[in-house]
Amino acid sequence: MEPNDTGMRDCVVVGGGAAGTSAALTLARARHEVLVVDAGQQSNLAATGIRSLVGHDGQAPADYYAAARSELLAYPSADFHRGTVTQGVREEDGGFSFVLDDGRSERARTVVLAPGVEYRHPELPGMAERWGRSMFHCPFCHGWEVRDQPLGVLATGAEGVRGSLNLRAWTDRVTLLTNGGELTDDQRDELAAGGVDVDERSISGFDGPGAELKAAVFTDGAELPIAGLLVKTQLRQRSSLAGDLGASLTEPDERLSVEAIRVDPMGSTGIPGLYAAGDAATSVPPSMAAALASGYLAGGSAAVHLATGY
Ligand SMILES: Cc1cc2nc3c(=O)[nH]c(=O)nc-3n(C[C@H](O)[C@H](O)[C@H](O)COP(=O)(O)OP(=O)(O)OC[C@H]3O[C@@H](n4cnc5c(N)ncnc54)[C@H](O)[C@@H]3O)c2cc1C
């Protein structure tokens, strides 16, 4: 549906992943005019299947997003545009305006930011083509597929210890690869007691056919056979849009390495009409289930704001 006579949408949702489509569905079912602008780069597209999302376990991410979009567009007040929001401002009248990468402009009374995040990890040779397959940030999403095989953890410090001990749930052969980072004696003792091997040598890359992983290769030429690698990852905002609209960010959390848009439990940023959901606004480990839930709440909050002013 096109915007009304004033050129104002009820809501623009930035991002059409789990969080954005969930928010938009809630708004559309409340009969609000909602436009989803989506660049089509959902973070789990590299994975062969979505895991731990009950009712969809193993479904190809692209199929899931196509179904979500088609369910959304069955509602007459919903609209979808493939593109990127490049600029956004909060107007003096309290509304929001946006410029898209194709030059199109949009205005809206409310906004749900659901742009996902950048999953930052070390860029060693052999990682890019295996990301989301044999190399992953979350054992709950990928651990089952590599269970009972020798696995590595690329991390150091307390996070390396915690990640390695946790990965023992999927296999009894776990090696913490610190890539030259050093551990304390206490950390080495804790890992040894938990049945985790440690290799502190520098890594030159990873080897294996296609997206499969067969070995970590060290700079001294030696190889360690592994079939999967858990990688310590940092979550960072994909753009400055949230700040440009007046939202604030949390300090990067040391344990989770998350830098999130600050929201209350209902997805409100504290700026009237501005909501956020999904990975971009999470301060817990990211997941599809959490993104769907937070999108639903943020979309509902925007709908209530549109209907009541609260
Ligand atoms: C490799 C990998 C595998 C994963 N596997 C699983 C799994 O099996 N199970 C699970 O529960 N979780 C998994 N996750 C986590 C899960 O994918 C995320 O938590 C979830 O996708 C977050 O949803 P989101 O809607 O917040 O963000 P995203 O899915 O990242 O969607 C955000 C969308 O917004 C778009 N966008 C960004 N900026 C703009 C802009 N300025 N204008 C327009 N559009 C924009 C992006 O292109 C993207 O399409 C995985 C993550 C990764 C990285």
What is the pTM assigned to this prediction?
0.95
pLDDT beyond 70 at 255: no
Domain membership of residue 68 as a residue range: 8-119+234-308
The predicted-structure confidence for 14-32, as pLDDT tens digits, reads as follows: 999 999 999 999 999 999 9
pLDDT in tens, 32-45: 999 999 999 999 99
- Hey, whose CA ends up nearest to atom 12 of ligand 1? 287
The answer to whether the beta carbons of residues 18 and 288 sit under 8 Å apart is yes
Query: Could you tell me if 272 and 174 lie in one domain?
Result: no
CATH number for the domain including 59? 3.50.50.60
**DSSP string of 157-190, one letter each residue:** HHHHHHHHHHHTTT-S-EEEE-TT----HHHHHH
**Is 286 close to ligand 1, i.e. is its CB under 6 Å away?**
yes
Ligand 1 near 20 CB (within 6 A): yes
Instruction: Tell me the two tokens of residue 81.
Output: 């545009």
Is residue 2 in some structural domain? no
Question: Which strands make up the sheet holding 228-231, listed edge to edge?
Answer: 135-136, 228-231, 151-154, 174-177, 196-199
Whole-number pLDDT of residue 285: 86
Residues 114 and 246 in one domain: yes
The residue whose CA has the least distance to atom 13 of ligand 1 is 287
Do 172 and 216 reside in the same domain of the chain?
Answer: yes
Residues 53 and 189 in one domain: no
Hey, is 26 helix, strand or coil? helix
Query: Are the C-beta atoms of residues 176 and 196 closer than 8 Å to each other?
Result: yes
The overall average pLDDT reported for the chain is: 95
pLDDT of 282 reads: 86
267 lines ligand 1 (CB under 6 A): no
Are residues 93 and 165 both part of a single domain?
Answer: no
- Boundary of a domain, candidates 189, 210, 231: 231
Q: Is the CB of 218 under 6 A from ligand 1?
A: no
Q: How confident is the model at residue 185 (pLDDT cuts 50, 70, 90)?
A: very high
How far away, in angstroms, is 19 Cα from ligand 1 center? 8
Q: For residue 272, how far is its CA from the centre of ligand 1 (angstroms)?
A: 25
CB 134 within 8 A of CB 152: no
Distance, in Å, from the CA atom of 129 to the CA atom of 111, rounded to the nearest integer, reads 35
Q: How many domains does the chain have?
A: 2
208 with 297, same domain?
Answer: no
